[in-house]
Amino acid sequence: MGLYWAVARPLFSSLPPEAAHRLAMCIFSLPLPWERIGATPKDPALRTSLAGIELSNPVGLAAGFDKSCRHLDSLGRLGFGYVIGGTITRDPRSGNAKPRIARYPGRGSMTNAMGLPNPGAEAAARSLSRSPRSGPRLVSIADQGPDEVIATHALLEPHVDGVELNASCPNVSWGRDRDDEAHLALLMQELGARRTRPLFVKLPPFRSDVERQAVLSLARIAQDGGADGLTCSNTRPVSDRRLSVGAGGLSGRALFPDTVRIVGDVWTATAGALPINACGGVLSAADALACLDAGAATVQVYTGLIEGGPRVVRDIVRGLSEAPSGRSLAPASSPGQDGTRPGRFRRGFGATASAGERRPGPRGGPGGRPAPGGP
Ligand SMILES: Cc1cc2nc3c(=O)[nH]c(=O)nc-3n(C[C@H](O)[C@H](O)[C@H](O)COP(=O)(O)O)c2cc1C
């Protein structure tokens, strides 16, 4: 049993969730040998390009873990292929009242109603400008009013390799009364004219058919607006009386079956033309493989880092490295094993993970071709 499981995890679990997170952030500010702690192997066959951003592997850190963008270097050195800071808004936000995170012990899931607390775009830009860049990093910005988004984007884009527009936070007040489609189209138009680096759009999850139509429509708007990739998905809105606001976003294992389905649906709706970052319940290499099989170019992890500790990225990367070429390790319940979507994971797949030049996705698709290094 590693140090994390013997000492750190029991300690973190004994603290209230936000106190545990603050402690983790203090530890990530220390000059520790993060590469050795993460112990993630380097496998040239896992190298990939996400919309032109060169990654050492397709496992990213999801937005929200480092909301201040002050610890991205330490986090990246654990072995992530890329890390995402934020979500950042134009002005600082203190977020919702506490308590705003509730755990489901033993279930690998939690609910948060953070409400995007963050230091604001100017402070985040200062932190990013001062911190070393040991690997690819993105910043997540919120889908507030157009002026705020444009200003935030302008302040932060120079300090990162790409920007993820968070068009899906369930815990903020804006967006409840607006026309999401028109709003996203306007943001894409404004950002499209200004951006110099890849732009990703993080979509909400869907379960019902109505939600599905709404999200697929947003995916197409992002695509038509020139997005370089999509992230599927954010947390799922749920009620939880333990949270001050009575509801929040569910994350972790409970999301996983939806994530695989959503990635496949969005891949089909966008004809495989955009790289998709699968996010939601990826806790293991088998989870990551199922997402890649469903058409994802990369996976993003948040709750998995809390559940599995700093070596979760090593375990996922190792599992991807060891996966037999061309075969999926996906659990039987997920696409890739049901006879309709043969596993398409290929080592070395990543060289094709950018728009217009994709590895094969679900049900085959345009642009798919065997990847270099594959069988
Ligand atoms: C405490 C917490 C805070 C989060 N904050 C953000 C955020 O600021 N921006 C964002 O895009 N997603 C945020 N997320 C969502 C995650 O990025 C991710 O989409 C979601 O948790 C599903 O992935 P997971 O199952 O690996 O945790 C947050 C999640 C959690 C648990």
Residue whose CA is at the smallest distance from ligand 1 atom 4: 64
Predicted pLDDT of residue 175: 67
Closest ligand 1 atom, residue 17 Cα: 1
> Angle at Cα 370 formed by Cα 369 and Cα 372, nearest 5°?
120
Count of residues for the chain? 375
**Ligand 1 pocket test: which of 69, 152, 234, 253 has the largest number of ligand atoms within 8 Å of its C-beta?**
234
Predicted pLDDT of residue 375: 25
Match 């080592």 to its residue by tokens: 347
Residue among 105, 141, 142, 68 nearest 252 (CA): 105
Ligand 1 cavity residues, CB under 6 Å: 62-64, 67, 87, 101, 110, 112, 114, 116, 140, 166, 169, 202, 234-235, 251-252, 255, 279-282, 301-304
Residue 140 and residue 85 in contact, taking contact as beta carbons nearer than 8 Å:
yes
How far apart are alpha carbons 322 and 344 in whole angstroms?
A: 15
Binned average pLDDT, 10 residues per bin, the chain of 375 residues: 79 91 94 94 95 97 97 97 97 96 93 96 97 95 94 98 91 74 94 96 95 94 96 96 95 97 97 97 97 96 94 96 64 36 44 41 30 27
Residue among 251, 252, 200 nearest 226 (CA): 200
CA-CA-CA-CA torsion sign (63, 64, 67, 69): negative
Q: What are phi and psi of 332, to 5 degrees?
A: -60, -25
Closest ligand 1 atom, residue 202 Cα: 11
Residue whose CA is at the smallest distance from ligand 1 atom 1: 112
Closest ligand 1 atom, residue 300 Cα: 26
Centre of ligand 1 from the C-alpha of residue 102, in Å:
13
Predicted pLDDT of residue 1: 58
**Ligand 1 pocket test: which of 96, 302, 313 has the largest number of ligand atoms within 8 Å of its C-beta?**
302
Residue 318 and residue 289 in contact, taking contact as beta carbons nearer than 8 Å:
no
pTM attached to this predicted model: 0.89
Centre of ligand 1 from the C-alpha of residue 205, in Å:
12
Residue whose CA is at the smallest distance from ligand 1 atom 6: 64
Q: Helices marked H in the chain — which ranges? A: 3, 9-14, 17-28, 34-38, 72-77, 121-130, 146-156, 180-194, 209-224, 256-269, 285-293, 303-308, 312-322
Match 């994350």 to its residue by tokens: 251
